[in-house]
Structure 1
Amino acid sequence: MRWARSLGVLLLVIALASCGRFLDRSVQTRTAKPFPKQLSAWRLFTLRAGNLKPNKGVVPYDLNTPLFSDYAGKYRFVWMPPGTAAQYRDDGPFDFPTGTVLAKTFAFPVDGSSAQRLIETRLLVHASSGWTPLLYIWDNNQRDATLQLVPDPVPVKWTDAAGRRHEFNYVIPNLNECHECHDNQKIFLPIGPKARNLNKDYAYAEGSENQLAHWTRVGYLQGLPAPEARPKAAKWDDPTTASLADRAAAYLDNNCAHCHQPGGQAGYTGVDFRLTQTEIAHQGLCKSPNSAGEVGSLRYDLVPGRPDESILIYRLESTAPKTSMPALSRDVVHVEGVKLLKEWIASLPGSCPGN
């Protein structure tokens, strides 16, 4: 009997060790420093065979058109304190309650396996002092992630479904660099969770449902208008769902507009790539550059009908520091995204002086 009890305890220890410290418990939120050194202390999800499973009250979500980050897979979750909800907004991020945690984990494939290698998890915590970014870097044994201020680059390599080999150093922005994208008018804000990005179906464990409707049903969103009144961004890589112009606009909105808008890091350039801004003149059409960065002999940000003479394409195809765009979280060229924008620019009518 004593032997059986000892064996039972041993098996329990082994079972717990196999999933690290990520246990099925209630979320442990923080709204002020000090923040936990280990990601597992937040209790946002459990970890099973490299897969993150949300704990109670943690809701997974996705975006119609996400930010490109060197082909990394991304897994997004949101949690809000019980009894609280975000306030709906047509434009811009929702008004989230204090205590909200937005989590985004970045991962890359592992050749010859269905598993993925977890690289980093970024948390945006709506603390009592405002939104606070936290960077957790996953251990090599994939058991937990540790809080870091200035992470080192992570070598990654894998072969994609098309047989292309990828091998590079994945660069993780440091905490100060987070502000370059997230600050607007010197106020730190989330970027992705907007109505137009969330307005899509998600395959939840209990079945598929529109994300905005799901957030409302579980008590995470208030003020949702009727379906026909909800904005919706196009899916950039699906030509069956939207026009070329709409897909290009969605791509620019989610990959460039966090800096290129009034109050953003590149607001001084006068280029505005927000989806709600529809004047192409404000998207750089026949506009001479007024920002730092080498652009060769090119004269205009956008040259209608001539993508290879457009500075926008030049910068998207560059990986050189101070020239490439976006300036952070991209160290390889997004081949498919560039192809989309080239097709869009080629479709634009008109010409620029001297071209």
Structure 2
Amino acid sequence: MNWRNALVLVAAAASLGAAALAAPLRAPVMVDDVAVSETRLPRKLSDFGFFSDPAAQVPAANVTPYRLNVPLYSDGADKLRFLYLPAGTQARSMGEDLLDLPVGAALIKTFAFGEGADRRLVETRVLLHRSDGWLALPYRWNDDQTDAALAVAGARIDLATPRGEAISYRIPNKNQCKECHGLNGAVVPIGPKGRNLSADWLGHMVGAGKLDTMDDGMDTMPLWESRDTMPASQMARAYLDVNCAHCHRPGATASNSGLDLRLEQRDAQAIGIMKRPVAAGRGSGNLLFDIVPGKPDQSILLHRMASPEPGVAMPELGKATVDQDGVDVVERWIAEMKPAA
């Protein structure tokens, strides 16, 4: 769901017809700033007031939906993303990098499986920007789909992916959130980078006074839906930036691998080309280099992406299945590279 569709839902909810107009008026749902900024660990998602209709994922009036051009793969889950900014504040553009969000801001991401009447909300993860830094909390939806409860210890849920694969879906515990969101010892957002947000959305935010400016000259990632028609190199680098670089970069949890998969990294060996593994262990599959130009079947990076085996599969967290679309894009990119002399 993109931000325009979400805004349509809000508009539809505001004009339900004569029957709805005859019903008693209710005060609009407003976000509880105390819950975001001060209440240590709110027990329920509803304590925040992020949604006017939680089951339908209709955001409160001061919560803005957004989408990423290239999303993080999570077993095929449909992810609905929202941004909350306290009244009187605005985000600050950092060009292609992450938006600089003020204290009191929140990022909300709901994971859902299924469609229509069969859609099931599974979890909502929130990132709260407090005075002492960012706090990541996971919430598990109840069977009635009316609210979600704090799952500090995480959870396991049996479900089927959109491809029909039966999996034990894992809601991360509070500490596991740090494995993907950790940078130089602190918890940070990883999703809303300027280059991974649409110009339309950024322009809307500027017009609404919620963003200070936008960089018209930045390098924007193409939509993931266009992966079959876009150059493989462009799509693969974008995919690795979104799905891998939050760990494989200096200062992050997998920095000991020596890989730096950020889009801005231009050094061939840093992104794995003819680079010997440092800490792959048995995950290397007895292969010698992270990426061998022109030879996907000899590349450790692709070997690990294509494996569902624990201890081999990459990423280690956040999925239980192979992202075949991602594998296909990276395989095509490596195959098209000019072989090393």
> For the superposition of Structure 1 and Structure 2, which TM-score range results when normalised by the shorter chain?
0.7 to 0.9
Query: 1:16-75: per-residue Cα shift (whole Å, max 9, x none)?
Result: 9xxxxx984111122123232111111111227x42101111000000101100100000
1:187 Cα deviation from its structure 2 partner:
2.0
User: Quick check: 1:235–1:241 contact (8 Å CA) kept in 2?
Assistant: no
Partner residue in 2 for 1:276: 264
What residue in structure 1 maps to residue 221 of structure 2?
A: 233
1:52, 1:165 → 2: CA distance?
24
- Alpha-carbon contact 2:95-2:214 (below 8 Å) kept: no
Distance 1:23 1:297, change over 3 A: farther
- Correspondence for 1:92 among 87, 91, 97: 97
Correspondent of 2:138 among 135, 138, 146: 135
Superposition RMSD in Å: 2.2
Contact 1:151 1:174 in 2 (8 A): yes
Question: What is the deviation of 1:240?
Answer: 6.9
Report the alpha carbon displacement of residue 234 of structure 1 after superposing the two structures with TM: 2.2
Q: Which residue matches 1:145? A: 148
The Cα shift of 1:114 comes to: 4.2
Q: Distance in 1 between the 2:49 and 2:152 partners?
A: 21
The CA distance in 2 between the partners of 1:193 and 1:81, in whole Å, is: 17
Displacement, 1:280? 2.3
1:42 paired residue number:
48
More strand by share: 1
For 1:294-309, list aligned pairs within 5 A.
Answer: 294=282, 295-309=284-298
Shift of 1:324: 1.1
State the alpha-carbon separation in 2 of the partners of residues 290 and 88 from structure 1: 36
1:192 aligns with 2:182: no
Gapped regions of structure 1 (runs ≥ 5):
1-11, 17-21, 201-209
2:187 aligned with 1:183, yes or no? Answer: no
CA distance in structure 2 between the aligned counterparts of 1:239 and 1:198, rounded to whole angstroms = 16
In structure 1, distance between residues paired with 2:207 and 2:292: 46
1:164-201 CA deviation, whole Å, 9 max, x = no partner?
Answer: 4221111122111111111111121100111001134x
Q: 1:102 to 1:305 in 2, by over 3 A?
A: same
Q: 1:344 aligns with which of 316, 329, 333?
A: 333
The alpha carbon displacement at 1:214 in A equals: 1.0
1:118 is the counterpart of 2:121: yes
Deviation at 1:245, TM superposition (A): 0.7
**What amino acid maps onto 1:142 in structure 2?**
Q
Matched-pair contact (CA < 8 Å) for 1:46–1:53: yes
Query: How far off its partner does 1:267 sit?
Result: 1.4
Q: Percent identity?
A: 38
Aligned residues: 317
Does residue 311 of structure 1 match 2:285? no
SS in 1 for 2:175: helix
Is the Cα contact below 8 Å between 2:125 and 2:136 reproduced in 1?
yes
